[in-house]
Structure 1
Amino acid sequence: MSAVVSVASMATAGLPAANLPKANAPAVNAAATAVSPSAPNVRARKPHYRAIFLSDIHLGTKDCQADALLAFLKSVRCDTLYLLGDIVDLWAMSKLAHWPQSHSDVVRAILSKARRGTRIVYIPGNHDRPLRHHVKQVFGNITLLREGVHETVSGRRYWLIHGDDFDVHVRCNRLLALIGDKSNDALLRLNRHLNQLRLKFGLPYFSLAGYIKQRLGRARAYIERYEQAVASETARRGFDGVICGHIHVPASKDLSGIQYRNNGDWVESCSALIEDEHGEIRLLYRPLQGQQQGRRQGKIEPFSLPSLADAA
């Protein structure tokens, strides 16, 4: 019930709504200013981006990396925050809800940004599908859409979607899609137990799901089919690029002239997309606590990511 209240609260921040899908706010400086050693009481300025894109947070589940996301939200500012689906996992919560204080803190951080003038655009995904019944509604400074368009300061137009509509293009039917989701859930549970064991032995975080996606041929083939299907439809609609989520694979690449950008997730990758002052859409990573770069002894390599640094 607390999760439902939190979702409702997210949709009622009392600020004036902005027109959509325009995104023509002036570009801002994305560079952070370092704290001067001679002035220790002066805080470093937070990076200010024109837009930040997040998806696949999965609040309400044990696998959500809420603490890492909260640290990221507190470290940045933006004119527009796009939430591209699976923010609150209503699907999983209908079976078993997991809602610690950190999940409420994430919702509170988002609402705080809305109160301070950040425009919030929420495009529900398949795991928060019930919210699609409320698309085109405006709640203060928060707007729900089925899909959207973001125009960068450089004039490029990006199609904004969650991405689950393309499951039919890369899987045989909805039953197989459901089986795929159940397999992924089982993999995440195994990953959670594996890392609890690794933690006891002082080993860094290891993304089992990420490792399998990179190594298993069938998984790579599925990802490639998904990316190509999304890029093809983006081109057919006349956009310069697409920003999506859904498959939990962060990406920043050009596919046949289409700029394909995937947010990744806050279950494994802990990644986000931002628009910088030049109008470029860049991929940022935020590593999980205890995650280290480099290799461990043996055949398995940790799925390590740079700390809040460009991945493109």
Structure 2
Amino acid sequence: MGLLIEGRWQDQWYDTKTTGGAFVRPETQFRNWVKADGSTPYRPEAGRYHLFVSLACPWAHRTLIVRALKGLTEVIGVSVVDPLMREEGWTFPEPDPITGSTRLYEVYAKAKPDYTGRVTVPVLWDKKTGAIVNNESAEIIRMLNREFDAFGDPSVDLYPADLAGAIDELNAFVYDRINNGVYKAGFATSQEKYEQAFDALFAALDELDARLSNQRYLFGKRPTEADWRLFTTLVRFDAVYVGHFKCNLRRIADYPNLSGYLRDLYQVPGIAETVNFAHIKRHYYASHTMINPTGVVPKGPALDLDAPHDRARLG
């Protein structure tokens, strides 16, 4: 996992020495918006925009889920990077047909030749102007949810206005303690920072398990953006975070409500197709050699996310 410095690739891992062993995720930098009202140069058009994603990455996974739920699979194309990320960062199995790139950092350099920063997925690319519109997953899914309704399914609204404030508040909690919390535990280089992240993570999971004891989804009877942002971490938890990131107090399978909730979301039409455990396990176990120097990928665990659940009883 490297970065570009003034447009030149450097193979550098995250600096945890200056943070006392804590992993601190840097801010994303491309923050333009596609707007249906014409208030930005980027207007929604079928075939104009393209996503660069990893099937292993939970942040990129969010965009694939919303793309599927909104019926945009024929409107916005996708290029998938190789799951193994080493000294050249994210790479393509073969030259990308959209940009001709073999490495994701080349896509960033095409968009901004003097770019300095991490090279991450997802990336929302504008084929018309040859520009990165946005590389912040939280903002990309908002665009897919609302700005492409002329091309997708407007009846699906994952960020309803009457819940917007509450969703934002819960998203902040889930991001800090769970979505990014597993990384803060897994990438910590001091015992103290690891244990702080570990304790906060499981306290948050306990809280959400209790919340889901009397309602089907985080905000009642239908899933919202908040549920799908949580889902991408939960679906990876038992497969990689328990072992690889040492988040092993409990599995999601051990939670009475979170386990059924995970299966409920996984079984929503179109969602299982966005989950690729081969990519997920290969990426984490074989890419992070500072954590798993042998690169051996475990065969387990055996996960049956198609098993029945009883969440429908909650409405």
What TM-score results when the alignment is normalised by the length of structure 1? Answer: 0.31
Higher helix share: 2
Tell me which protein shows more strand as a share of its residues. 1
